[in-house]
Amino acid sequence: MVELSDLQTAGAPSWCPGCGNYSIWQAIKMAIVELNIKTKDIVIVSGVGCSGKYPYWIKTYGFHSIHGRTLPVATGIRLANQDLKVMAIGGDGDGYSEGTNHLLHAARRNIDIAYLVCNNQIYGLTTGQVSPTSLRGTKTKTSPSGSIEWSINPISIALAAGTSFVARGFAGDVRHLTDLIIKAITHEGFGFLDILQPCVTFNKVNTYKFFRERIYKLQDENHDPGDVIKAYEKSLEWGKRIPIGIFYDEKKPTYESQIRQLTKSPLSKQNISDIDISSSMKKFV
């Protein structure tokens, strides 16, 4: 059986005290343990930002990619070896600004990976600039008079892109978040999980208190995750009430299950000794 100690690294996280990343870090490890995934059978891919060091602080295979390119790397790993569980993780700047196009295409292709976005509604690592999810009016060092931009809605965008599993968690509820991560990992297809993660240093509006006064769980109100129209309606709720939980869950063929070359075995295990590419090399070199 996999235990939490198996995931312990020599180094320890260096996030700000009280950062929501600590809770997410714990929830990811708990999910891996509860699913009994051996450390050799899962790979964590990160982008750039406060969440970029997850591969360093969870003892599994990992890859620290460049800003906004988390999903292309995760996709490549998944297509090379579908025996691996693949988890991509990044922030709202990484995933909803530089990486927005990759989110759309990974979603429509239904790549079988779990994608977690630590959404603190600010650029934390670069010391507090507005991000795509910062609320209109947010005052930062780059918007001292308040941001004039409307914030994007990650849940609505994911649904519009055809994502087969759409959920939202909260870093202040580790047990509920762990359950959502488990569902995102075990979902056959693109499992998208937006995580409300307070930044205690640079975001003084979207605090733990702010969210605890507003969030409610969709399953407590008998939401039907099979109804995409209801999911859209719920995705538009923000203000006095903010829903968390599973918005939408659909079963449909994954991208890799439809590729003939992958039906026999993972590419990484296929015999390529009889393939000769010398003619192509001569042509293009």
Q: What is the pLDDT of residues 5-42, one digit of tens each?
A: 999 999 899 999 999 999 999 999 999 999 999 999 99
* pLDDT > 90? residue 264: no
Largest CA distance in the chain: 66
271 pLDDT band, cuts 50/70/90, is: confident
Does the predicted TM-score (pTM) go above 0.85? yes
For residue 251 the two structure tokens come to: 């079963």
The pLDDT value recorded for residue 274 is: 87
Closest CA to 70 of 84, 90, 100, 42: 90
Tens of pLDDT, residue by residue over 191-209, are: 999 999 999 999 999 999 9
Helices 70-80 & 100-109 angle (0-180, nearest 10): 30
Instruction: For residues 258-274, give the mean pLDDT.
Output: 87
Q: Taking residues 222-229, what's their average pLDDT?
A: 98
Helix and strand counts by DSSP (H, E) for the chain: 10, 8
CATH T-level fold of 15-284: Rossmann fold (3.40.50)
**pLDDT score recorded for residue 167:** 98
Q: Does residue 33 contact residue 76 with C-beta atoms inside 8 Å? A: no
CA distance 28 to 195: 12
Res 33: pLDDT: 98
User: 146: which 2 tokens?
Assistant: 């308040």
pLDDT at 273: 85
